């Protein structure tokens, strides 16, 4: 019971489900790469490059995260729409950066080169 209560109390308020407090029930808090508590606890002392990159990307997608929190009826179509929106936002951000490649550079990743002879669109 203590483990279940600790799991419930660790969940963001929007993910708590009273049914998880019943013995044998699975906590209703989804565990995902950007789970607030899991991310911060895991990187409390020494965040990795990928941890910092995930946080930076999450900040850039905050409007989409906020909208996702309001969705109550998830389906494959809704997930696909969010994936397209995130891709489009990243594409637009890359085109309008003051310093192209700064996201890669700031997090210690190699800046990919442009393809030579790429067809014009």
pTM recorded for the entire structure: 0.55
Which residues, other chains included, contact 36 with Cβ-Cβ below 8 Å and sequence gap of 6+? Answer: 12
pLDDT category at 1 given cuts 50, 70, 90 is very low
Instruction: Give me 15's structure tokens.
Output: 């993910």
Q: According to the model, what pLDDT value does residue 121 have?
A: 65
Which residues, other chains included, contact 4 with Cβ-Cβ below 8 Å and sequence gap of 6+? Answer: 20, 21, 23, 25, 27
Q: Enter the DSSP assignment of 71.
A: -
Burial class for 96, CB neighbours closer than 10 Å (0-12, 13-18, 19+) = exposed
Residues 8, 70: Cα–Cα separation, whole Å: 20
Mean pLDDT of 87-94: 94
pLDDT digits (tens, 9 = 90+) for 58-84: 999 999 999 999 999 999 999 999 999
Polymer length of the chain: 121
For 118, left (φ over 0), alpha (ψ -120 to 50), or beta? Answer: beta
pLDDT category at 113 given cuts 50, 70, 90 is confident
């Amino acid at each position: 019971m203590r483990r279940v209560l600790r799991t419930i109390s660790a969940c963001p308020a929007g993910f708590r489900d009273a049914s998880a407090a019943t013995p044998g029930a699975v906590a209703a808090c989804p565990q995902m790469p950007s789970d607030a508590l899991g991310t911060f606890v895991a990187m409390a002392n020494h965040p990795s490059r990928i941890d910092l990159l995930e946080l930076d990307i999450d900040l850039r997608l905050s409007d989409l995260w906020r909208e996702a929190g309001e969705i109550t009826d998830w389906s494959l179509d809704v997930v696909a729409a969010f994936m397209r929106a995130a891709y489009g936002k990243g594409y637009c951000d890359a085109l309008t950066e003051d310093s192209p490649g700064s996201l890669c550079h700031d997090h210690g990743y190699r800046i990919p080169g442009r393809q030579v002879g790429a067809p014009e669109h």
